[in-house]
Amino acid sequence: METLAEILHVGMLDLMQCGAAGAAPAARQAPADTPSGPAERSRRQQVRGAALLLIFTALVIFFQYFPLHRVALVWQPSWYETGEISLLAYVGSREDLRTAQPVLDLAEQAFSTLGLTQAEAAARYGKLSRYCFPRDIFPEVVREEHTLELWSAHFDSSYGQMWVYYSQAGYDETDTRRTGSFRIPSLWYLERTPDGAWEVISIKEHP
């Protein structure tokens, strides 16, 4: 009796009742689609979409703070040391990025300044004067364009390192490009001055 009930997908009580009535037991039919079916599918689709969005957002945040692809761009074992390259694996804390901002602002001024002599530029910008176009070295340059991006910043109480990425070009009166550097990763070493400011004391770039 139990085996017959399993084959016909009916309950024991139904089978016994049908047997008592002398009628053949009817197979139990699957329930028809109810209004909750489409709603359930829609809910699952929403959950799946939210999960995909969460994963995408997490990946974006991860690569924003851990831009590992930049490591490949500067991987030059013969030039940069492994410890220097590893600084690119993490952009730095929010405090580090805030500390780097005044240095980056001063660098923007150095990139943009025209008309100074080399000595004047060095007195005003220190090591960052290398990004100026001094009139005694580039007298033909009357206009410049540049982009400057902070890649990472790491500071302790006395010293710091900043990776930046820049391009720069100088143009003459005919708007002809006369000099320039393009897509350059650059590592800046910094030291804290007695008044609490940060000063670039060394710049390392691939020649």
**Could you write out the DSSP letters of every residue in 62-87?**
HHHH--THHHHHT--TTTS-HHHHHG
Give the whole-number percent of the chain exceeding pLDDT 70. 70
Which letter does DSSP use for residue 114 in this model? B
The span from the CA of 188 to the CA of 164, in Å, is 8
Average pLDDT of the chain to the nearest whole number: 81
To the nearest 10 degrees (0 to 180), the angle between helices 94-112 and 118-125 is: 160
Distances (CA, A) of 36 to 30, 57, 164, 172: 15, 31, 56, 73
The span from the CA of 100 to the CA of 152, in Å, is 9
Could you confirm whether domain 91-205 is CATH 3.10.450.50?
yes
The span from the CA of 13 to the CA of 23, in Å, is 14
Q: Which residue carries 């390259």 as its tokens? A: 85
List CB contacts of 146: < 8 A, sequence separation 6 or more. Answer: 111, 112, 131, 166, 167, 168, 169
pTM above 0.85, yes or no: no
- Looking at residue 40, its pLDDT comes to 75
Distances (CA, A) of 110 to 122, 134, 148, 176: 10, 10, 11, 21
Least confident of 7-21, 49-63, 127-141, 191-205: 7-21
User: pLDDT, tens digit, for every residue of 31-71?
Assistant: 444 455 777 777 776 666 655 555 545 444 444 555 778 88
Residue spans per domain, the chain: 91-205
Give the closest residue to 70 by CA, choosing from 145, 131, 127, 149: 149
Give the closest residue to 179 by CA, choosing from 164, 167, 165, 163: 167
Residue 74 in tokens = 């500067």
